[in-house]
Every structure is written in C-alpha cells, then in structure tokens.
Structure 1
Amino acid sequence: MGTRYSDHNVKHLKSTTDEHTFNEYVFPDMKIGFEIHRMHVRSAKSTWYYPSHEHPLYEINLVTRGKQVFYIQGERYELEEGDLVLIRPGDVHSSSSLENSKEGFNYFCVHFNIDDKLLLPYFKKTKDTFYHANSMLTRSIRPLLDRLVNFSQQSKINFTDKMNLHSIMFELLAITVSCLEKDQQKLGKISEQTFKVAYQIAEEIDQLIRKPSHEDDILESVVRIEEIANHLDISVSYCNKVFNKVFDMSPRQYVTFRKLNDSKSLLVQEKYSIEQIAFMMGYHDSSHFSRQFKRWTGLSPSQYRETQHSIPEMGES
C-alpha cells in the first residue's frame, strides 16, 4: 500500500530527497488498537451456570481444570482441561459445569475487541469454535494464555505490566491469525494484491460510515460503493468481487456489520448516553438511531443495554 502524503510540505520534502536516494523501502502506515474486557480466572463450583447471552466482543475461554460445558449458537461443546473455545461477536452462548458432576472446574476467560478488518477475513471463513488441547491453535497460544492467567491473578499492575499485557495480546492475535490461515486452504490462494485492495475498500467504508445520515437515507446509500470504487479507480463489479473474496460478505453487508457491532460496543459502556452514541455513529438524532438499531436487533438501544447488564450468574464461584 503506497504512502499518502496529505501535507504539501511533506510532498515537497519527498520530491527533493528522491534524487539523492538509491533505494527506499516504506512500510505502510498502520493504526491498530484493541480493548480488553472482563479478563478473569475463576474456580467454579459444580452448581455454577451462566445463562444464554451474546455480546459484541471476541472471547477466548480456556479450561485449566475439570470439565466445562458450552452451548454456542445451539451447539454443545464439552471442554476438558486444556481445551478452549473461540467465540465471535454476536454468538449466543451459555456455560456451566458438567451435568450431574460433583466436581467443579477452573477456567480463564478474556473478552477483547479489535479492528474487524484484521480478524474478520480469517474468522468469517472458518466455522470452528472448539479447539482441543492438542490442536495447533491451542498448543501455539497456550503459553501466552498462561501468562495472561498470571496477570489476571495480580492484585495490582503498573505501567510496565500494561505494556507487557499489550505485547502478549498482539502476539496472541498474530499467532491466532497465523494458525487460522494455515487451516484455510481458500485463504492461501488469495493474492497479496487482492488483500490490499479489499482492505483499502474497508478503510474507505470505515472513514465514511460515521458521516451524518438524514432521516430519509437508507443505510446502504450513506456509504455509496460506486463512489468508493471510483475513488480507488476500480469498477464496482471488481470492488464487490474482491471484497467478497476476502471478507466473505458484500461491502454493503460490511456496512451493516460495522454499524451494528460498533453500536453494540458503545452501548455496553455506561459512560455514553444513547444520544451520544447516536451522534458518534453518524445519526442526527437518537430516535433515528433507535429505529435503525431496532430494525437490526429487534431491541431498542436501551433494551439491549439492559440485557448486557442484567445477566445473573447462577451458583457461587
């Protein structure tokens, strides 16, 4: 991806240095960030149970002792020591100890959110949720998960600890993507150029997605794919084809995905009011945002927020 120089002075400086340069290798600009939520270690009794719910975060759950049962999107998974599940945003899931068991279990869990453009191509093309202790993914990331377990058990962490935690998470995500990529024959056939163009399209969408929309706008018309294709000097058909190949969804479906997931992520944060979130998501008023959100989910923003803060844990841990 070529470097863009938006500042006139920078362009001028580059032009004056070119004639004095033998070779130049410019790494593309990057902006990567993530959030960690509810990272914890728990020793649960045999009576422990967490009701069915969903959230806008990725989740990794590792069993460190005993057996734990998960129901994810209607499928049952029985986890033993060393097994893990990888849960995607929006997956409906619940968990408990093994039925009729008198033994409890220990587990580690971390929820995180990261720029979807990075993980989405890999997670969309695999339906795998359960990973056995001896799977390539589990064996590769287990040492990093163990380090996160140690962080979870610390009563206090300083600035250096936080930086180390960021480093562990980035390494964990990189290894996870690498393992998923190896498991996906189809992804291996996608060229670097195809990935590059698809990411450029996604970046264009992300930049436009929060521009104010009017009451009579439909979601798809706010981000016009024709304008993005024209800006990137490619045809609309090629734009759709490339994007579908990498992200396994159309650009318009991606618009809905990002709007919905970003809205959910903001709604679980009590510091933002519904009105503030509506403005952050590009709506002129909260009523327009509320109507659109209810069309997506069947719930109003306030109802969704309530569901995320009213899920009780059954049994003592």
Structure 2
Amino acid sequence: MDKDKLIQSFSEGIFKVDDFFIISVQPFTKIYDNYTKPEVCGLVIPLKGKAVFTLKGEAHELEPGIVLHAGPSMELDKKVVGDGIWEFALLHYYVSGPKEVKEYLENLHGRLYLNPACYNDLMTLVKQLHQVRRSPGALNEFRSKTLLYSIMEHLLSHGMDKKKNSDEDTVKELVDYINNQYDRNITVLELSEMAGMDVKRFSYLFRKLMGECPKKYITGFKINRAKELLIHDTISVSEISSMIGIEDSLYFSRLFKKYTDYSPSSFRETFGKNPW
C-alpha cells in the first residue's frame, strides 16, 4: 500500500463504524468463493494464530503484527494456517467525503506491518472498541467513531508497508517494551504472541541475544527498579511492589531477597544512606 496516499485519504475522508466483531476459527478451516461485505471497507486485525486471506487473487498471510485492509464486495478466499485457532478482530467502516477518497479506499486491499510494542498499543484500542460496541446508545456511537479514528491514526503513525524487522530486531523491540512496561505483570507467553513466535523459539532467541531467559530478565529488571525506589524514595515496600507489577508484597519480599540476599527493608537501611 502507498502509505502517503493512505494518510492523505484518511485525512480528507469522513468515517463511521458499521460493525465490529472478534471471531475465532478452528484450525484447518477453509472458505472459498466468498466476498467481503458490500458497501463498507474493512480492517482485519489478527489476535492469535495465522491465516491466509486471498483478495482478488492476491494472497495475504496474516498473523499478529499484520493488519489487512479490504474494500467492499471483493472476491475472498480464506484458510487457517497451522494447527492453532485463528482469532481476529473484524472492523467494517463506512467512507464518505470526496469521491476520489471513497473510490481509492473502496478499491484498496493490502497490509500494514507494526512492530510488537506498537501492535500491543493497537490491541488496547481494539479491546476498548469491543467493550464500547457491546452497549447501544448515542454516546457509545460517538465513542466508537472516536476509537475508529484512533485506530486509523495508530496504523498510519506506526504501520510500515513492508516488513522490515528481523527476529533480532523483534526481540530488541520487546526488550524495550519490557523496560517501559515493568509495572505490568508481563508474561513470556504474551511476549511470544506479540513476536508472532511460539514460546520455545522466542525464549531461544531472547536468551541468544540477552544472555538469559525472558522470565529472568523481566524479574531482574523489576528488582533493579525496586532497588532504585528503595534507595531514593520513602514510599512503603508494598507500594514499591505494586509499582513494579507485583501485587503480592510478601512474594515481592521473598523474590527481592532471592536476587539480592537482602530483604527490601534491610536493603534500604544498608544502602539508602550510601547510594554509591
């Protein structure tokens, strides 16, 4: 897709949500001689698994990190790839405004690629839209429209028309994600899904690049952040535990001692007066 032309089209057009679904499909499912929905454009946002959507004879392999755009009434074949469940969000939207914008978007089919951290932010918007669409009313219609524009803005700001990331780049991006999201309970499964890999392969690549498994890296980063908070702040141990994404403060204390040989309170007492 021509990203510059896409940006111009979205800036000039007027859009409204038609419908929104989250759909799960069983492994090995195949559907041929189908068509996209008439009169509306659509975004296919993969959540889990892999599939191939063939639009007007052109095959598009889809997995988390790749978003597909399609116009109305396009010839469509679909098949699930591999033995896992294929799950995706399907967003249909109306286009109005200048004739050339409407014609361009209604004839457009292609993919945009997002790096894992940006794709995770997109998932947040998708979940919000799913929640809003479950309740009728004028206010939620307005919220739907706002979220549609937010999703489009995110795709246009962070999407790439070609996949540029190697596996090593993907792991590096997820290391940055861990470093910025240490206040959450991040799991290795979550990270592997963001990378579009199985857990075993992701863990192997992570260890190869970082010298330790992802779980140990996540915990180590949280503990190092807790050290900084214990030395430079007077907030309680339970508050620090919550700030690094560990809700059970007793578990945090045991973990902290395992990694440092100090309890959080004795670490503060020992090093708080001598940060050097």
TM-score with structure 1 setting the length: 0.38
Q: Which has the higher strand share?
A: 2
